[in-house]
Amino acid sequence: MSETIKIQEHLKPATCMCIACQRVTHHDVLTSAEIANTLHISDDYEIDQSDLYQTLRCRGCESVTLRKESWSSDEVDIDDMGRQYWPTKTEYFPSRESAQMYMADAYLLPQEIYSIYIETKKALIANMPLLAAVGLRAIIEGVCRFYGVDNKGTLAAMVSALAADGHVTNADAKVLHDIRDIGNLAAHEARAHTLDEIKIALRAVEHLLNGAFVMPHYTKTLPPARPKKLPQSKQTQTQTPLPPVNPP
Q: Classify the C-alpha dihedral 171-173-174-180 as positive or negative.
A: positive
Spell out the residues 6+ positions from residue 119 whose beta carbon is closer than 8 angstroms to its own.
Answer: 135
* Domains of the chain, residue spans: 2-79+87-93, 106-219
DSSP state of 211: I
**Which fold would CATH assign to domain 106-219?**
Four Helix Bundle (Hemerythrin (Met), subunit A) (1.20.120)
- Calculate the alpha carbon distances from 137 to 174, 177, 178, 180, 183 in Å: 14, 10, 10, 5, 5
Share of residues in the chain with pLDDT > 70 (%):
90
pLDDT of residue 146: 93
pLDDT of residue 98: 54
Residue 97 has pLDDT above 70, yes or no: no
Which pLDDT tens digit goes with each residue over 13-26? 999 888 778 788 99
Our CA angle for 108, 109, 115, nearest 5°, is 120
- Single-letter amino acid code for the residue at 87: P
